[in-house]
Structure 1
């Protein structure tokens, strides 16, 4: 119960803080206000609409009760002008806290009469936040931004409340319905101090990509490698991938898939979501367009010849590969050369597929395997198994893929 109450408090503070962050809301400039005549100004008579707008503005800007005289004036105006919106808002906003249900009804009547009445939307933001209704508070805050000509501060406030998952869901739903303000919101969000993971989530869900400058300072490949390595150490795999894919050269975009460059064309990209090849003790591994991944290895010790990180969502998959290698015997029952998939965190083995070593070009498929929800990232490796006697592996792998299965 304490945790839930704390969550409500933080959410309410976030939305109320958003209104404070907005500052002075120029609410009634959207409404036509008949000006007082010179005679009226001389004798101190202000038109009803103008006076009601001023009272509504004062409530929205200062969030304090108007004078008893102004409240009485609003009550009288509501009786005389039942189709006018401001009196209903003023009466709603000045109701005692114990009468909040009645206040909500009156505010709804004000918005029904004038959906552009910004003070009523501002009141609804505060009321819904206090009631822990983040979805309704978010919708009201968006209406405020849309209604206001000088709305940059309000969009910054909406960016801040995007830290709430319920608010994000509401924003995504409105964007999916074709909201005209999508780019305005995303620009405000990208320039805000909201956690980058949330920025990436909202950008990706709307079909846009964050500029690299919003992920890490532009720099040399080594700087980017260090950034990606840090994210991987923190198990922030999605953030690392989003940064990686935005640094991907245009010519390499077509190589993106469950396995990057599974045809071994040599597409340029940074590790760990691209191939890392071993070249040194025991032999060489290289990539040549048209030939694939060529291997020339001799030895008896185990070794990883190539690897890359994957981000497979939970589901069932199988490894598929096409290769041609010189014939190699298999004395101890362990396949000399295999593709292996493991969970990146913990190294739990998920599946293995022996590479055919019989002198013919063949395509082989592995048995289905499952990726569980807790396995957020995986490693695909081409491994040489240790053997009692040295073996010579010579050939090429034309392709490797991870296919989804039912």
Structure 2
């Protein structure tokens, strides 16, 4: 077998004497998988894939836990239109050789790009859910794989909470300027309609991730919590600027009005709602929230035609006093108004 391996490594045909010896071993030890493994590797190196398949199937029959046979057969079946057989072999390989996760992810990631691969890939991931993140992360860097990723997700049960790769894909689509497909992907992953203008205006704790739902940020600059009856409570410490709440919008061009029931108990600093167009430093909305006992703050703004995506945010701004404030606000109302 060493002679056959050396010849295969040099791209040469194995010596005739070695093949004769191999046949002798196979006849004298019919249950031994090694002769068939060597024969399979030799035929594979020579490009005789059908003969290699026969040999590796014989090796698998004699040793069902043999990883080399399982992996070759998974590759062979997947590349020759036998997806279900290939997926079964790959799942078996992942169980008998658990340390070979990168090989599994690589093979499955490459196969996932092929037309019609979504259903079998999803079947593998349902059997071996620990591989989902690795396979999807392999596909994620190339947005040409978006349709494949969406098709795989459609063939799988919806996760709660959604896995991180789904939010990463939506963010990458937004960064690439593919706004419509970003929202489509978000809707598919969450099973929710993003709404006409603003999603979840009452800040309900829904199982729907950003960017088309709220990001609420508590940190060293302040705290924010959703209220059971709707809206949020927030505390600003006054030491550094903080974005308490933010959401990405895809408003069509036109004039809008934002209305917010708000109460501010102010000592220092300021708070305001901003809306920025993507990568434009000047906001199209700047709505300060004054000290109040429960009325509504309201302002109109215009979304220009060259502003396909907008960032809505509630900010706390420090002043020279270094003092902070606390506030609460109710559900937002965003509506289109006549120009």
TM-score, structure 1 length as denominator?
0.43
What per-residue deviation string (whole Å, max 9, x for no partner) do you get for residues 16-55 of structure 1? xxxxxxxxxxxxxxxxxxxxxxxxxxxxxxxxxxxxxxxx
- Within the candidate set 225, 228, 237, 2:179 is matched to 237
* 1:213 corresponds to: 151
Distance 1:237 1:265 in 2: 24
* 2:271 corresponds to: 337
Structure label with greater radius of gyration: 1
* 2:284 corresponds to: 350
Matched, 1:365 2:307: no
Distance 2:261 2:245 in 1: 16
TM-score, structure 2 length as denominator?
0.51
Are 2:262 and 2:294, in contact at CA under 8 Å, matched by a contact in 1?
Answer: yes
Are 1:266 and 1:288, in contact at CA under 8 Å, matched by a contact in 2?
Answer: no
What per-residue deviation string (whole Å, max 9, x for no partner) do you get for residues 298-356 of structure 1? 123222111010000011112211112214457xxxxx000101002334410111123
Query: Compared with structure 1, are the counterparts of its residues 245 and 281 closer, same or farther at alpha carbon in structure 2 (3 Å cutoff)?
Result: same
Distance 2:332 2:199 in 1: 10
Distance 1:217 1:237 in 2: 23
Are 2:222 and 2:242, in contact at CA under 8 Å, matched by a contact in 1?
Answer: no
Q: Secondary structure at the match of 2:284?
A: strand
Matched, 1:297 2:229: no
Once the two structures are superposed, the pairs formed by residues 1-400 of structure 1 within 5 Å of their partners are 212-213=150-151, 221-249=163-191, 253=193, 256-328=195-267, 336-358=270-292, 360-366=293-299, 368-400=300-332
Q: Structure 1: which 5+ runs fail to align?
A: 1-187, 201-210, 331-335
What per-residue deviation string (whole Å, max 9, x for no partner) do you get for residues 129-187 of structure 1? xxxxxxxxxxxxxxxxxxxxxxxxxxxxxxxxxxxxxxxxxxxxxxxxxxxxxxxxxxx
CA-atom RMSD in angstroms: 3.2
Distance 1:216 1:281 in 2: 40
* 2:58 corresponds to: none
* 1:22 corresponds to: none
Q: Structure 2: which 5+ runs fail to align?
A: 1-115, 120-142
Query: In the TM superposition, what is the alpha-carbon distance from 1:256 to its structure 2 partner?
Result: 3.1
**Aligned residue pair count:** 194
Distance 1:328 1:318 in 2: 28
Q: Secondary structure at the match of 2:171?
A: helix
